[in-house]
Structure 1
Amino acid sequence: MSHPLIKRLVDTLGYPQVDAAILDRFLAEPDLKALFVTGDADKNLETADLAVILPELARHFGKAFQPAVVDRAIEQKVRERFDVWPTPSLIFVARGNKVGAIAKIRDWDDYLREISAILDREPALLVH
């Protein structure tokens, strides 16, 4: 987590950094998580963009989901587990189940539409 915008998410905004020690317990929780799979921020310029967009999305949707940053050491495991390969990505998970994913950078309206659809998709999994 060397990129300053990603560090800001954890250090300043208090987003959990999900590592191997807490992954299963964190994902089993009933509330909706938005896992930020960053990829290599030095090679993929979209990663920094999503690090700026994610807090705005979290504000827009209130407490509908909890953003978290996936530790780079377990990204491959998380990507395999939820079958989401492009980075950066947001993987929405509730009770260990993938509810949806948004890969790469999108227009603001696309984020709003896709996240709203994710929130409506599996209401039995989500706790509001």
Structure 2
Amino acid sequence: MPTNVHFAFNRSGTSPASIQILQQIVAVLKQYPQINIELGGHTDTIGSDRYNLILGRRRANSVRNYLLRQGIAKERIVVRSWGEAQPKISSKNSISRARNRRVNFAFRNLSNLNIQLVEQEKDLQP
């Protein structure tokens, strides 16, 4: 199961490629109603700390809203924003910055379930 989706620079809307990834998440969440999810919004280092915290929250809320529209209960979803504080990698070029523009998924209550978690880059937007 994917553990992240990516975003375009200074954007919080989900791309068609990200929607395909989120559809996989929705399918698993519907199959296993005991699983809860924490959405962590992240940005690259361009912009102020304050702005990036807001953008990270907008990204996480964008994913949350998609999950809600697909019938996932709001009680199962927690939203956090890390802004630029927890980069995946150093932002030295456009590709590394694109890898940092993401929402990570932390799943709860996965014990005894045979679910493989994988980071993906199919929706990377340099």
Tell me which of the two structures has the higher relative contact order, counting C-alpha pairs closer than 8 angstroms and 6 or more residues apart: 2
Structure with the greater alpha carbon radius of gyration: 2
Q: Which has the higher helix share?
A: 1
